[in-house]
Amino acid sequence: MIGTNQTCGTGQDSMPYMTCLVHILEGWFGVEQLEDYLNFANYLLWVFTPLILLILPYFTIFLLYLTIIFLHIYKRKNVLKEAYSHNLWDGARKTVATLWDGHAAVWHGYEVHGMEKIPEEGPALIIFYHGAIPIDFYYFMAKIFIHKGRTCRVVADHFVFKIPGLFRWLYEKFRYPFAPMYGGFPVKLRTYLGDPIPYDPKITAEELAKKTKDAVQALIDKHQRIPGNIMSALLERFHKKQKIN
């Protein structure tokens, strides 16, 4: 409360304006030591303002990406609705594939060149050469399921049995090639499919492996820029210029 020898007016015994205002508010709301509460609130504001300024922009970007992915899924609502009406499991798989396809489009501008080379039916082996993390293969599987209605089965190399510690245990437990992930920059990702290699019973397995290896190496030489550069890969999101053979 205001002392008897102090007033809120001007003069020798007058109080500072803010102190006077605090005392008036204390009288109105019936709260004592309101100034301490205001000081504590000011302290919290001082502590959390930097966090808000740092987190809010990232949250806004995350919300934008989430909105685009939602619209990407909503665009295929009729396809998903039809899939769920026929088979619940098929609808769930198409939903997951659409979600991955949306993430691929938003985060990496993912493209597949040569999708028409995948047969509509019958067996086929896809020898896949992927980057530092296998996330592009997940994108590729989603594309195949959406556009071809076909699912892929992963065949792992013997190297996975040599992975030490946790990753080997995970593989033996779930039969899935887990690997530590790094990178993840929103660079441009493209998958190029080469010409099919028809089955020839006259050649040996070693000859077929050599033929396949040469075909994969030809795709690498044609489309992969060496040495790689993160900045140029990021800029490819905005420029469609590709490596010329």
Burial annotation 107-121 (CB, 10 A radius, 16+ → b, else e) = bbbbbbeeeeebeee
Q: How confident is the model at residue 244 (pLDDT cuts 50, 70, 90)?
A: very low
pLDDT of residue 243: 44
For residue 10, pLDDT over 60 is answered with no
Q: H or E segment at 14?
A: none
Pick 209 or 136 by higher pLDDT: 209
| Alpha helix ranges (H) inside the chain | 17-29, 34-75, 77-86, 88-103, 135-148, 165-174, 205-223, 230-235
Paired tokens of 35: 């100034």
Question: Higher confidence at residue 177 or residue 11?
Answer: 177
Q: How confident is the model at residue 4 (pLDDT cuts 50, 70, 90)?
A: very low
Q: Is pLDDT of 1 > 50?
A: no
Residue 111 phi/psi, 5-degree rounding, is: -135, 150
**According to the model, what pLDDT value does residue 151 have?**
86
3-state DSSP call for residue 191? strand
CA distance linking residue 177 with residue 141, whole number of Å: 15
197 is a domain residue: yes
How many domains, in total, are found in the chain? 1
Percent of the chain with pLDDT over 90: 11
| Residue 51, domain member (yes or no) | no
> Which residues on neighbouring strands pair with residue 14, listed in sequence order?
7
pLDDT at res. 136: 82
Query: Domain containing 231: what range?
Result: 104-235
Which pLDDT score is estimated for 223?
86
Q: What is the pLDDT of residue 214?
A: 93
| Per-residue pLDDT at 54 exceeds 80 | no
Indicate whether 126 belongs to any domain: yes
Length of the chain as a residue count: 245
Query: Which pLDDT tens digit goes with each residue over 147-183?
Result: 888 888 877 666 655 655 556 666 667 665 555 555 5
Q: 71-76: long-range contacts at Cβ-Cβ below 8 A with a sequence spacing of 24 or more?
A: 72/98, 72/101, 72/102, 72/105, 72/106, 73/98, 73/99, 73/102, 76/146
User: Quick check: is 167 in a domain?
Assistant: yes
Type of residue numbered 30: G
Strand partners for 191:
112
The answer to whether position 185 is within a domain reads yes
Does 245 score more than 60 pLDDT?
Answer: no
Contacts of 73 (CB under 8 A, 6+ apart): 80, 95, 98, 99, 102
Hey, which residues are catalytic here?
Answer: 130
Asked whether the beta carbons of 233 and 187 are under 8 A apart, the reply is yes
Read off the pLDDT band of 65 (50, 70, 90).
confident
**91 located within any domain:** no
Within-domain flag for 244? no
Task: Give the pLDDT score at 196.
Answer: 92
- CA dihedral (217, 192, 92, 134) in degrees, to 10, reads 40
pLDDT band per the 50, 70, 90 thresholds, residue 45: confident
Return d(Cα 102, Cα 138) in angstroms, integer: 12
- Statement: the pTM of the whole predicted model exceeds 0.75: no
Listed range (16-20, 134-138, 140-144, 221-225) with the worst mean pLDDT: 16-20
What is the average per-residue pLDDT within 52-66?
Answer: 75
User: Is residue 56 in a domain?
Assistant: no
